[in-house]
């Protein structure tokens, strides 16, 4: 039985890895073509290539559930086409045993996916975003097209580029009073984190009085703000590119600042529940092999897998933003499609058994 489990698991795992490689290659190519539209004198083709390669781990992590679904259909489907599953069933191997043989390598793949999503993808994504921001908007003035905005209290902050080593380029700050009247605006070419504060250099500040303005230029200035380099590395990235721990800390930071953190809760639950979602999709794929797709061609299985995968992705993409608009829990938005897939898979397997 151990050899049989290894044989089934190996067949499915190799198919999943092959599908993941193909999907990732296509996604990387499309990302490269799309990013070429941003090429300029400072942002070269080599910068584009570096950005696309550094963001590849995040894409691989995002595509793991889809690859697991299609790969499982192909791997188990090839065993079914060669009548190997029929022989196993005739020899007394239960469907539950086959399901467990498929799930064992999937557990390894899920753990690997979690490690990539928690440690590898956020680090490479931070590096990619920092390099691109530096090439596109690290100049001597506020960049209107690039960089990031952040608010803390009555101060609105724009940063052209964030580097992973605790260096900011192009820091613009707007300070308002409680009536939303602008009190001052300042621009610093560079900021360096120093233990518990930021040290600004080449600072030009415009102070607004009742009927006049005053421009003050200083070579250096201390900036006390709660934004640490680790937190800024979180701010600069999209929610779906962050690690679980990064999302958790930033969610509570936004809560303390009185800001909306719904998008980050949604991304948090998507990442936390990704192993469960992947298992649900694999369970449904197994049920298809023993049910509706038992005697169809490989092409039909691939087409079905792509169709189901896209339907699942569309459902997630619709429910997620809907939870932010209509106010229901993002946890429900993530769990509902997975629960439907799992229940459908269990029902089909029960019929097949």
pLDDT (tens digit per residue) in 284-296? 888 888 876 666 7
pLDDT confidence tier of residue 266, bands split at 50, 70 and 90: very high
- Round the average pLDDT of the chain to a whole number and report it: 87
What pLDDT was estimated at residue 139?
54
Residue, of 201 and 164, whose pLDDT is higher: 201
DSSP code of 241? G
pLDDT at res. 287: 86
Give residue 147's pLDDT. Answer: 72
What's the pLDDT score for residue 146? 66
8 Å CB contact between 151 and 308: no
Give the pLDDT confidence of 43-69 residue by residue, as tens digits.
Answer: 899 999 999 999 999 999 999 999 999
In angstroms, the Cα distances linking 48 to 65, 120, 121, 126 are: 27, 20, 18, 15
Tokens of 84: 């190997």
* pLDDT at res. 143: 56
pLDDT tier for residue 303 given thresholds of 50, 70 and 90: confident
Domain boundaries, the chain: 2-136+262-352, 148-235
At how many degrees (to 10) do helices 95-115 and 330-352 cross?
Answer: 150
pTM: 0.82
Q: Which residues of 42-70 are buried (b: 16+ CB within 10 A; e: fewer)?
A: ebeeebbebbbebbbbbbbbbbbbbbbbb
Residue 80's pLDDT is: 83
pLDDT at residue 26, as a whole number: 95
The average pLDDT across 137-166 equals 73
Residue ranges in 291-329 assigned as alpha helix (H): 298-326
Report d(CA 157, CA 162) in Å as an integer: 13
Statement: 148-235 belongs to CATH 2.30.30: yes
């Amino acid at each position: 039985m151990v050899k049989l489990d290894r044989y089934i698991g190996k067949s499915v795992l190799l198919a999943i890895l092959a599908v993941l490689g193909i999907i990732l290659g296509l996604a990387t190519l499309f990302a490269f073509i799309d990013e070429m539209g941003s090429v300029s004198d400072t942002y070269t083709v080599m910068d584009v290539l570096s950005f696309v390669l550094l963001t590849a781990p995040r894409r691989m992590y995002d595509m793991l559930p889809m690859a697991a679904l299609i790969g499982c259909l192909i791997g188990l489907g090839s065993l079914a086409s060669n009548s190997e599953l029929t022989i196993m069933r005739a020899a007394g191997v239960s469907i539950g045993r086959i399901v467990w043989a498929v799930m064992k390598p999937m557990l390894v793949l899920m753990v690997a996916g979690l490690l990539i999503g928690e440690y590898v993808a956020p680090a490479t994504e931070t590096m990619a975003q920092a390099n691109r921001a530096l090439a596109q908007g690290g100049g001597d003035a506020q960049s209107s097209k690039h960089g990031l905005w952040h608010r803390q209290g009555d101060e609105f902050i724009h940063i052209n580029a964030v580097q992973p080593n605790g260096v900011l380029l192009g820091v613009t700050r707007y300070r308002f009073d409680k009536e939303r009247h602008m009190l001052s605006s300042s621009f610093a070419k560079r900021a360096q984190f120093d233990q518990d504060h930021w040290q600004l250099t080449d600072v030009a500040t415009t102070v607004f009085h009742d009927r006049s303005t005053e421009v003050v230029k200083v070579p250096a200035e201390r900036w006390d703000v709660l934004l640490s380099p680790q937190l800024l590395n979180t701010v600069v990235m999209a929610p779906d590119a962050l690690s679980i721990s990064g999302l958790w800390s930033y969610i509570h930071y936004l809560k303390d600042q009185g800001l909306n953190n719904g998008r980050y809760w949604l991304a948090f639950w998507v990442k936390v529940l990704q192993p469960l979602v992947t298992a649900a999709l694999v369970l449904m794929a197994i049920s298809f092999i023993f049910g509706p797709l038992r005697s169809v061609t490989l092409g039909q299985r691939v087409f079905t897998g792509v169709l189901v995968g896209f339907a699942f992705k569309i459902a997630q993409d619709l429910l997620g933003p809907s939870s932010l608009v209509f106010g229901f829990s993002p946890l429900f938005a993530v769990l509902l499609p997975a629960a439907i897939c799992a229940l459908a898979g269990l029902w089909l397997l029960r019929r097949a058994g």
